Amino acid sequence: MPIPDAKFFAGIDVGTTTTKAVLLNADRQLAASFVRRSGTDLGASANTALEQALERAGSARAAIQAIVATGYGRRNVSFADDTKTEIACHGWGCHYYYPETIAIVDIGGQDSKVIKLDAQGKTIGFKMNRKCAAGTGAFLEDIARRLDLPVGELNGLARAARQTAKIGSYCTVFTATEVLDRIRQGERTDEIVRGLFDSIVKRVMEMDALVGKVVMTGGVVAYHDIVAELLSARVKTQVLVAPHPQEMGAFGAALFAAEM
C-alpha cells in the first residue's frame, strides 16, 4: 500500500542504451525503480522512467525532495536539481553496499569503466574505455544480431559451453568478421558466445590493474552474470555482482539527491 506522506529522493541515469530511475525513501532504502530504452528524446525518457518508478512506489511527483541526474544524457534532464557523472554515482552507490576499498567495473551500453574507491568512498582513480564500443553492451547486441540469437539467450549458451573460443580482434566490426569465420569453420555457437564474453573481460583488463575486491555494475552483468565469473578467473580475485547492478548509477545519483 502506498504511504501518503512518504518522501523520496530520485536518481535518474540516462544511459546510451537505457534510462534508469530510482527512488529512495527517507531511510535511503531503494523504494522503487524503473528501466526503459533511452530512445532519442532523452529528457522525455527520463521523465517517463521517473513517472513509472513513482507509479511503482504508489506515489506522485510532489513526494520527491530532490533529483540528481547522471549518465550520458544527464544534461538533458531539465527537471533535475543537480547532475553528477556516472563515475561518481556508480562509486557512491557501490560504497553504500561495500564501505571498503573496492574496484568497480561498470559495463554499460556503449562504455565501460573501472573506478577505484578508498574505504571512505573517495574516488582514487578511474578509467573509461577509449572511443570504441568493443567490450560493451552494444558489442553484445551487435554480435547477437549477426549470430541470429536473442541477446537474452547468450548467458545461458555461454554457461553451457565446455570450452571458450578465442576471439582475438580488437574492435566490434572485426570481431563480427572473426565470429563469422569461426562459424564457417564449424565451431560451436555456445563456445563462440563464451569467447565473446571472455573478450569483454579482456577489454576490461586492459583498462586498469584489478586487485582486491572487485564489484561489477551495469546492464551487461545484470543480464549476463557469466562475465563476473570469467573476470574472476582471469584476474584471480574476488568479483562480486552488485545489488541491482543496472540501476547502480541511478541509485548513487539518488544518494547524492538525499544529501542535498
Q: How far apart are CA 50 and CA 54, in angstroms?
A: 6
Q: How far is the CB of 133 from other proteins (least distance, A)?
A: 10
- The alpha carbon of 92 is separated from its chain's Cα centroid by a whole number of angstroms, namely 14
Q: Helices 226-235 and 189-207, interaxial angle, to 10°?
A: 60
* Residue placing its CB nearer to other proteins in the complex, 120 or 238: 120
Residue 88: CB minimum distance to other proteins, A: 5
List all residues 6 or more positions away from 159 whose beta carbon is below 8 Å from its beta carbon: 226
DSSP state of 162: S
What is the rounded distance in angstroms from the CA atom of residue 61 to the CA atom of residue 79?
A: 11
Residues 190-229 close enough to bind other proteins by CB under 8 A = none
Residue 76 or 164 with smaller CB distance to other proteins: 76
CB of 47 to other proteins, least distance (A): 14
> Please, what is the minimum distance in Å from the beta carbon of residue 166 to other proteins?
26
Nearer to other proteins, 68 or 216 (CB): 68
Total residues contacting other proteins by CB under 8 A comes to 28
CB neighbours of 123 closer than 8 A, spacing ≥ 6? Answer: 87, 88, 91, 115, 116, 117
Q: What is the Cα–Cα distance from 25 to 9, expressed in whole angstroms?
A: 7
Under rule CB under 8 A, residue 169 binds other proteins? no
Query: Rule CB under 8 A: which of 111-140 touch other proteins?
Result: 111, 122-126, 128-131
**Strand locations in 108-207 (E):** 112-117, 123-128
Kindly give the residue spans of alpha helices, DSSP state H, lying in 38-102. Answer: 42-57, 86-97
- Closest approach of other proteins to the CB of residue 129, in Å: 8
Closer to other proteins at the Cβ: 69 or 192? 69
List the x/- string, 21-60, binding to other proteins by CB under 8 A. ----------------------------------------
H/E element holding 9? strand 8-14
Quick one: 13 or 190, whose CB is closer to other proteins? Answer: 13
Q: Among residue numbers 58 through 97, which ones bind other proteins (CB under 8 A)? A: 69, 72, 74-75, 77-88, 91-92
Query: Which residues have CB under 8 Å from 259's CB, separation 6+?
Result: none
Rounded Cα–Cα distance for residues 13 and 163 (Å): 36
| d(C-alpha 16, C-alpha 73), whole Å | 7
Q: CB-wise, 155 or 217, nearer to other proteins? A: 217
What minimum distance in Å lies between the beta carbon of 194 and other proteins?
A: 29
Give whichever of 12 and 201 is closer to other proteins, judged by the CB atom.
12
Least distance to other proteins, CB of residue 43, Å: 11
| Interface ranges with other proteins (CB under 8 A) | 69, 72, 74-75, 77-88, 91-92, 111, 122-126, 128-131
